[in-house]
Structure 1
Amino acid sequence: MFKFIEKIIGSYSNREIKRIMPIVNKIESLESDMKKLSDAQLKAKTTEFKEKLAGGATLDDILPEAFAVVREVSSRVLGMRHFNVQLIGGIVLHQGRIAEMKTGEGKTLVATLPVYLNALTGKGVHVVTVNDYLAKRDSEWMGKVYNFLGLSVGLIVHGLDNAQRKKAYASDITYGTNNEFGFDYLRDNMVIYKQDMVQRELNYAIVDEVDSILIDEARTPLIISGAGDKSTELYSKADSFVQRLKPVVFTETDDKRFIDEDLDADYIVDEKAHSVTLTEKGIKKAESYFGLENLSDPDNMTISHHINQALKARGLMKRDRDYIVKDDQVIIVDEFTGRLMYGRRYSDGLHQAIEAKEGVKVERESKTLATITFQNYFRMYHKLAGMTGTALTEEQEFQTIYNLDVIEIPTNKPMIRVDYPDVVYKTENGKFNSVIDEIVECHKRGQPVLIGTISIEKSELLSDILKKCGIPHNVLNAKHHEREAEIVAQAGKYGAVTIATNMAGRGTDI
C-alpha cells in the first residue's frame, strides 16, 4: 500500500531533492567561470564572501558560488571534483539535516561544501568523527582545501593541553571525536574563569556516522571524575572471595523461569540481562567469609556493593572483549568503535574490581564531578547535521529526539554491489568452519577478503585457525592500532586476508 502511494506522490527524499535541484543547476552553471579563475582569484573569494555576509547577505545567498568555489579548489588541490549528487548532499547538510549516502559515495568530500560555507561566519564549525584516526586523516586531507581558501583547521585529539585545545577551537574549522568535544564541554563547565574555557559557542556541527553517535551512543554518559579517598583493600578481598564461588551461566537462549531453587551454584550470571546475583548458597558463604549476620542489612551495604562489582568483573567483563591489560593497566575497549579508550575508567567501582581480578594495582575509586549524555550535548548546537550510510531505519528517532530530517541521497552511478541475506548457524564452530572455507576459496582466487569480528578475542581466535591453515593474514584490533594505516592500505590488494574488529567498521576506506 505504502509503495503504491509512494509511486503516485514520490518519496519525501525525492520531493526534497526536486526542490534542491535548481540550486545544483545554479552551481553547475558557475563551473566554467570558476575554471577561468587563477589560484589567487579563487583564494580571494573567501574575503569577498565574508564582505557580502557583513553587508547583510545570508549563507543561502552565497551558497551556489561558495559551493562552486570549493568544487573547483577540490579539483585543483585534491584531484577530486564533487559529483552532482555530492552537491545535493552538501546542501542537505547545510540545511541542518541528515544526508544518508551509501558506502563509498564520498561523504568526507561532501562535508567540505557546507563546512566551508558555514565557516565563513567566523563562529566555528565542528566536524565530528567516530575516532582519532579519522579525525586526523580528514583534517589533513580535506584541510588542504580549507587552507588553500585561507581558513584555519584545528584538530582535537587525546593528549592535548589546554592551550593546544583553545587554539584548535579558535580555528575556523575543528575536527575531533564525539568524546573529545563532549569532555571539553564538561571541563569548560568546571572552570572558574571564563578565559580558561577552551570551546566557543556551539555553532554548527556535522556528525559523521551520525547513527552511531546520536542513536547507538545517545544515552552514553560522559563522566568527569575526581580522586576519591576510599581504601582499595576491600576490592581485593571481595575478589578473593568471588574466586572461590561456583557460577552458573544463563545465555540469551536459556529460559530462566525454570531455575531450580536448589541450584548447585553460588551465583547466577545472566548474559541477556547483563546481571550477576548471588544464590542463597552464595549469600550464606558471603556472610561466613566476611563474618556477617545478614548481608542484606543496610550496615553491610558497602561490602555487598564490593561483592556485586567483583561478581560483575568475573562474571560479565571479559578480557580482550571489554578491556585489555597493557603495561599493568586495565584499558577499556570502546564497544562501538573497537578502539582503546585511554584515560577512561568504568564507574561505580567496577574498574577497581577488574583491576583486582587481573592482579594489577587497584587505583582509588573516583567520584563524579560532571556528567552529560551525547544526546543532551549535541542538542545544544545552534545547527546540527549528519552523514551516514544507514539512517532511514532510525528516521523516526532522529525526527523525535533531534528534530532532524533524513534525506536519502541517490548514488552517483547505479549500485552494482550485491548484498546477500544473513546466514545463521546452530553453533559457533559451524559458523567459523564455514567462514574459513569461504576465506580459503577466495584466497585461492586471489580475491582480497575482509573478515569482521565483534571483539579482540574473536579476531585472535579466527587468526589462530587461519595460521593452522597456513593462510597469511593481518589482524586489525585495538592491540595493533598503531599499524592501522599500514594494514588498511594492504587490505584491498591481491590475495590479502584481513581480520578486523569494528575498528574498521566505520569510515575506513579499503
Structure 2
Amino acid sequence: MDMSPARALDRPHDPTGAGPLGWPPLSGGALARYRRQYARLRDMPDAGGMPSMSWRASLMHAGAGSTPWLAACARVDRACREHLGITPYEVQWLAALAMMDGRLVEMATGEGKTLATALAAAVSALAGHRVHVLTANPYLVERDAAWLAAFYDALGLRVATVAETDALAGRRVAYRAEVVYATAKAVVFDALRDEACAHGATGALMVGARVLVEGTDAAPVLPRLDTVFIDEADSILVDEASVPLVVSALRPDPAERVRCWQAWRLASALVAGRDYHLDERHRTVRLQSPSLPDLGGAWINARHRDEWLVMALKARHCYLAGRDYVVRDAQVCVVDAVTGRIAEGRIWGQGLHGLLALKEGLEPPPALATVAQTSYQRFFPRYARIGGMSGSLREVRRELSRVYGLSVLRMPLRRECLRRELPHRVFADEAACVEALVARVRVLIAAGRPVLIGTDTVTQSTRVAQALEGAGIVHQVLNADQSATEARVVAAAGAAGVVTVATNMAGRGTDIRLSPRAVAAGGLHVLSLQLNDCRRQDRQLAGRCARQGDPGSVEHWLTLPLMETAPMPLTKMIRWLLKCSCRDLADKLVPLSLRHHQHRRAGRARRQRARLLASARHWDACMAVRNEEVD
C-alpha cells in the first residue's frame, strides 16, 4: 500500500507488456480497453462536493464504461487526492476498472493494492451496490477502514468494519453500510449462523414473515450478497478454498471423552513396525496387529475402535507442535499452513483436537456438533459480482476460471523491478545451513541492509532465532506465536541492519518500508529457508523486497534432509555431488528439483480441491432433491 503523496500520474514502466523476471505477456485487449477508459476518465470534468441522490440514481442505471460511470471515477479520484493526499497512479485505476468488471487482477506487491481496491469499492458503492472488501486479517480490516474513512465520507458513503468478536446487533448494523471491511471468515460464519437460525428457510418471503412475527432481531445478520473485492485472492479462493468452515454447538458427550482417553492410552502402548505402519510424509497409519484388545462399552465395534486408534497415532506422530499447531493460553491452536498465522476458531474434527490436547498434557475440549458448514469454493459464487487481486495469480488462473468463472488480468509494473535473484544453495544438514546463515547475516547487516529470513515452521523460526541470539545478532521474530505484534514487527523490518525471522507469509498485507540508509545500502535482502509446495508462495516471499523501484535481493537455501523428506527428485545426485566437493553443480540442480517438486505438489492439491468440490456439489444436489420430495 502506498500512503505517501504521489508526485504525478506515472505511466507504467513497461508499456509493451514484456515484464521482467519471466512474467508472461500482458493481456493486451482487455488492458487496452481499460487504458482507453482511463484516458477518458482523466478528461472528465473535475467534479467535487457531496454526490446528490439524483446523481447517484442516474449512475445506478448507467453501464460500465458509460459517461456517468467514468464521471463517478473522476469524482472518486478527486476525493482521493483531496482527503488522502494521494493521486492514484494509472496502474491503480487500471486494476480498479478491471475489478469492477468482474476480474481478478495480478498486481505486483507494493504497487498499491489497498488503494486500488478502495477506488473500485467507492465507485461500486456510489452505483448502489453493497460492497464487501475482504482482507487478510482483523488488523488490516481496522487499519484500512480507519485510513480510508475520510475518503468514503467525502463521497457520502458509510464504511464499517465487522469482526468476529463484535456483538450480534453491532454486526447486523455494520453490514448495512455501503462499504464493509471484514475478513472472509467473519462473513462466511455470519452467513452460516443465519442459515442455522433460519433452519434452511432463507427465502425473502420466509425471512419477511419471521421479522413480522418475531421482530427485527429475527432479521438475518448478513443481508443479500452483492459485490465483493477480495485481497490476496489466491490465498482465499485457492489455498484455503476447500477448508471446511463449520459452525458448531456444544454437545456434552461423556462417552466421547472416555474414548479419547482410552484411544490415547492404547496408542501409547503400540509398537511401530509390529502393531502399525506409519507414513509421516503422507500422514497415513495402517494398523497391523490382528489382536488389539476390546475396550468395552466405549466402542461401537472393532472398526470404531480402530478409527480412534489411527487418529491417536496420527496425533502422536504426524502433527507437530510448532509446525501444525501451537499451545497458547492452555489451548491447542491450529497454525494455518498457508499464512503461518494462527487460524482463530479453527479446530480439527474426528477427535483429533482432543487427542492433541492430551498429547500436550491439557484437558480435552468439550465435544462439538456440526450445525452448518460450507467452504470458500461453495460460498463465494453466491455473490452477484466478484473482483479481487493478489501478487500471484497466474499459476492458478485456469482453476479460478473453471471453479468461479473468473478471468485473471496482469497489471504492468509502474517502475522497473530492481530485484536481484541470487543462485540457490544446498547444504548437507541444518547445522551447516545455520552456520552459513549466521555468517551471511553478519555481512549483510554490516553493510547496513535489512534482512528477512523466511522459515517453514514456528519450530524452525525458533531454531534460527536461537542461532542468531547465540551469535550476538539482534533480531525480531514473526511467527504464529507473535501474531498480535505482527504489524509492528513488519513495520520495523525495513530499517538498516534489522534482522527479521518470519514463518511462511506472516505479515502478508503490510508493507516493509525501507529507511533511506537501507535503500542506499542495497535494500531488503530476503533469504528463504522454505520448501513451499507451490511457486506462488516463493514469489510472495520474494515480493517483500524491491517494491516500487526500490533495490533488493532474494536467495533460496535448502538442506538435504528437508529435500529427502519432501521427497524431491535429484536429491541423491545432489548429495553425491556435495560429497565430491562439486558444490557449484549441486547448487545448479536445486532449482530444477524444486520446480519439479512444486509442479507435482500443486497438481496434487489442485486435483484434491476438484474432488472435494465435486463431492460437495453432489451432496448439495442430493439434498435439494430430498427437500423437494419433502415439500
TM-score scaled by length of structure 1: 0.87
Partner of 1:491: 493
| In 2, Cα distance between equivalents of 1:12 and 1:400 | 21
Instruction: Select 2:160's aligned residue among 133, 154, 159.
Output: 154
Partner of 1:303: 305
| In 2, Cα distance between equivalents of 1:46 and 1:428 | 65
Instruction: Select 2:231's aligned residue among 203, 208, 211.
Output: 208
Between Structure 1 and Structure 2, how many residues are aligned?
471
| In 2, Cα distance between equivalents of 1:316 and 1:143 | 46
> Which structure 2 residues correspond to residues 57-206 of structure 1 after superposition, within 5 A?
57-61=62-66, 62-192=68-198, 193=210, 195-206=218-229
Partner of 2:264: 239
Structure 1 residues 410 and 46, CA, compared in 2 at 3 Å: closer, same or farther?
Answer: farther
CA contact (8 A) 1:276 1:315 kept: no
Partner of 2:243: 220
Structure 1 residues 246 and 467, CA, compared in 2 at 3 Å: closer, same or farther?
Answer: farther
| In 1, Cα distance between equivalents of 2:510 and 2:170 | 27
What whole-Å deviation, never above 9, does each CA across 1:47-84 have from its counterpart, x for those lacking one?
45413236x33354333222222222222222221111
Moved more, 156-165 or 59-68: 59-68
| In 1, Cα distance between equivalents of 2:320 and 2:259 | 22
What whole-Å deviation, never above 9, does each CA across 1:446-470 have from its counterpart, x for those lacking one?
2101111122111111111110010
CA contact (8 A) 2:59 2:69 kept: no
Listed as ranges, the gaps of 5+ residues in structure 2 are 1-16, 19-23, 199-209, 212-217, 513-631
CA contact (8 A) 1:155 1:175 kept: yes
What whole-Å deviation, never above 9, does each CA across 1:265-309 have from its counterpart, x for those lacking one?
5433313322223333xx54x427x479xx9x9722332232222
1:213: Cα distance to partner?
Answer: 0.8
| In 1, Cα distance between equivalents of 2:451 and 2:301 | 58
Instruction: Select 1:267's aligned residue among 263, 276, 279.
Output: 276
Instruction: Select 2:437's aligned residue among 429, 432, 435.
Output: 435
1:12: Cα distance to partner?
Answer: 6.2
Moved more, 361-370 or 382-391: 361-370
CA contact (8 A) 1:130 1:337 kept: no
Partner of 1:403: 405
Matched to 2:32, the amino acid is: K
Partner of 1:381: 383
Matched to 2:28, the amino acid is: N
Partner of 2:321: 319
CA contact (8 A) 2:50 2:154 kept: no
> Which structure 2 residues correspond to residues 466-505 of structure 1 after superposition, within 5 A?
466-504=468-506
Partner of 1:341: 343
| In 1, Cα distance between equivalents of 2:113 and 2:504 | 19
| In 1, Cα distance between equivalents of 2:277 and 2:443 | 43
1:439: Cα distance to partner?
Answer: 1.6
Instruction: Select 1:279's aligned residue among 275, 278, 288.
Output: 288
1:500: Cα distance to partner?
Answer: 1.2
| In 2, Cα distance between equivalents of 1:474 and 1:403 | 42
What whole-Å deviation, never above 9, does each CA across 1:86-137 have from its counterpart, x for those lacking one?
1111110000001111111111111112101111244410111121122222
TM-score scaled by length of structure 2: 0.71
| In 1, Cα distance between equivalents of 2:253 and 2:285 | 24
Structure 1 residues 426 and 395, CA, compared in 2 at 3 Å: closer, same or farther?
Answer: farther
| In 2, Cα distance between equivalents of 1:198 and 1:145 | 26
1:210: Cα distance to partner?
Answer: 0.8
1:204: Cα distance to partner?
Answer: 0.7
Other structure's SS at 1:384 match: strand
Structure 1 residues 246 and 78, CA, compared in 2 at 3 Å: closer, same or farther?
Answer: farther
Structure 1 residues 64 and 378, CA, compared in 2 at 3 Å: closer, same or farther?
Answer: same
| In 2, Cα distance between equivalents of 1:362 and 1:271 | 24
CA contact (8 A) 2:267 2:309 kept: yes
| In 2, Cα distance between equivalents of 1:450 and 1:320 | 20
Listed as ranges, the gaps of 5+ residues in structure 1 are 1-5, 248-262
CA contact (8 A) 1:476 1:503 kept: no
RMSD over aligned Cα atoms: 2.4
Partner of 1:255: none
Structure 1 residues 63 and 311, CA, compared in 2 at 3 Å: closer, same or farther?
Answer: same
Matched to 1:279, the amino acid is: Q
Matched to 2:338, the amino acid is: F
Percent of residue pairs bearing the same amino acid type: 32
Partner of 1:28: 42
Moved more, 434-443 or 182-191: 434-443
Instruction: Select 2:364's aligned residue among 341, 344, 362.
Output: 362
Matched to 2:374, the amino acid is: I
> Which structure 2 residues correspond to residues 3-22 of structure 1 after superposition, within 5 A?
13-22=27-36
| In 1, Cα distance between equivalents of 2:139 and 2:338 | 15
> Which structure 2 residues correspond to residues 407-426 of structure 1 after superposition, within 5 A?
407-420=409-422, 422-426=424-428
| In 1, Cα distance between equivalents of 2:352 and 2:69 | 51
| In 1, Cα distance between equivalents of 2:323 and 2:69 | 47
